[in-house]
Structure 1
Amino acid sequence: MNVHEMEARLNAHREVLISLMASMMADGHHDRVFDDLQQDAVYVDGEEDPGILPSEAFASEAHAADEISRLLDAARARAKAL
């Protein structure tokens, strides 16, 4: 699988996940799940300054938190449109 195929597959999974999340948000029965995910969307490592070049572990956690935040934002926007 090349990079473009991998990106297309990841985008497809992302769209399915956003649709499922939006549907769950719209029915209002899963608020706690999204509150918990919102906590995961903010990465806190306990250090004031991670330095100019963050460690690989810090960067991975920060990217994961950013993606969760983006998924939640996209799902909220889609849920409002339902």
Structure 2
Amino acid sequence: MPFDPTKSANNSPASSAEMRSQLTSLNADIQQRATINDLNNAIAKALAQTSNTSNNLSTHSAKEPMAVTTRVRCRTSSTRWMI
């Protein structure tokens, strides 16, 4: 039975079976959540994959100028600019 936050209503008599069921379902939910170690391992794995990807990229030498081209088109009949 999943946790039901609407139980028990304010000022209602307490039922031990209902409370036990609520606490059991909360405990099950907590046990299924990721731990700090799980999150740290996932972050480390993602960073390692990012590093491996960037290691395969080549860098551009600062001695060689980079060629950059830009094309600008303008429509005189309206205020739209297209770059």
Normalised to the residue count of structure 2, the TM-score between the two structures is 0.33
User: Greater helix share, 1 or 2?
Assistant: 1
Normalised to the residue count of structure 1, the TM-score between the two structures is 0.33
Higher relative contact order structure (alpha carbons within 8 Å, sequence separation ≥ 6): 1
